[in-house]
Amino acid sequence: MNSSSSASMRNELDPDRMPKHVAIIMDGNGRWAKKRLLNRINGHEKGADAVRTIVRTARKLNIAALTLYAFSTENWQRPQPEISGLMLLLRRFLSSERQTLVDNEIRLNTIGQIDRLPQAVRENLEAVMDATANNKRMILNLALSYGARAEIVEMVKQIAAKARAGALDPAAITTETVADHLYTRGMPDVDLLIRTSGEMRISNFLLWQIAYSEIFFTPTLWPDFGEEEFVAILHDYQHRERRFGAIPST
C-alpha cells in the first residue's frame, strides 16, 4: 500500500470512535531474524523501527495512550548477551527519539520493576521522562521488566499496608481503589489490545486493565508490522460493538 492509500485509510477513521488506550504485545523479533538467517539482536533492531512507526502513527491519530510490552519480568531468563543487546538498543532508542517525543508532545512513561534495569538504562529513562514531563498530547508507556501478576501483588501490598495503618477502610475498597494503586493509575483502561506474530495468549500483560478490551491477534511478525496494518486494525475496532457485559443494542 502506498503512502496516499495509507493516508486515505487514516482519513476514513471516525475520530469519535478512536480507542483512548492501545496496548501492543510486540512479538516475533526472534522469528523474523531466524527466517533471514540473522541473529536475534538484528530482529530486535528491526523491531525498534516498527516501534518508531507505530508511535508516530498513534500520535497522528490522536490516540491518548499507547502501551508497548518491551521487556517482561520473564525476559530476564533469556541469555545474558541478548539481554545486554536489548538494553543497549533501548538506550539508543531513547537517545534517538528524545527530540521526536518532545516535538510531538508525547510524554514518556514506564511501567514495571524499573529498579531491576541497569543503572545506565534507568538514567536514560529518567532523562527522557524529565524532558517530556509536560507533554500532554499522548502518553507512551514502555512496559519494562513488567509482569501483570507482580503489578497486582504490589497493588495488594500497598492497599493492605494502608488498611493496616488505618488509612483505608477495607469495606471502602472499590475497583477505583485498585486502579489507583496500579502502574497505570490515572490512565484509561485499555480499549484495544494487539498481539503480533500469531500467538494467541496474553503473556501476563495488563491483566486488570484489559478486562473489557477488544483483542486483535495478527500473524504478522512485529518487525513487519506497520502503519497500514495498524490503521486496518483500528478500522476493525471501530466496527465492533463494545457491550461491557450488557445485551446488544437494538
Interior angle at CA 230, CA 209 and CA 203, nearest 5: 40
Which residue is listed with cell 495488563? 206
Measured at the alpha carbon of residue 21, what is the angle toward residues 143 and 67, in degrees to the nearest 5? Answer: 15
| Cα distance between residue 164 and residue 154, in whole Å | 15
Among 80, 57, 35, which Cα is nearest to 229's?
Answer: 57
Q: Strand, helix or coil at 7?
A: helix
Residues in Cβ contact with 81 at an 8 Å cutoff, skipping those fewer than 6 apart? none
Q: What are phi and psi for residue 150, nearest 5 degrees? A: -65, -40
| Cell, residue 248 | 446488544
In terms of Cβ atoms closer than 10 Å to its own Cβ (0-12, 13-18, 19+), residue 27 is buried
184 grid coordinates: 497505570
Residues tagged active-site:
27, 75
Tell me the C-alpha to C-alpha distance, in Å, between residue 7 and each of 3, 214, 224: 6, 24, 19
Cα distances (Å, whole numbers) of residue 204 to 71, 142, 147:
12, 15, 6
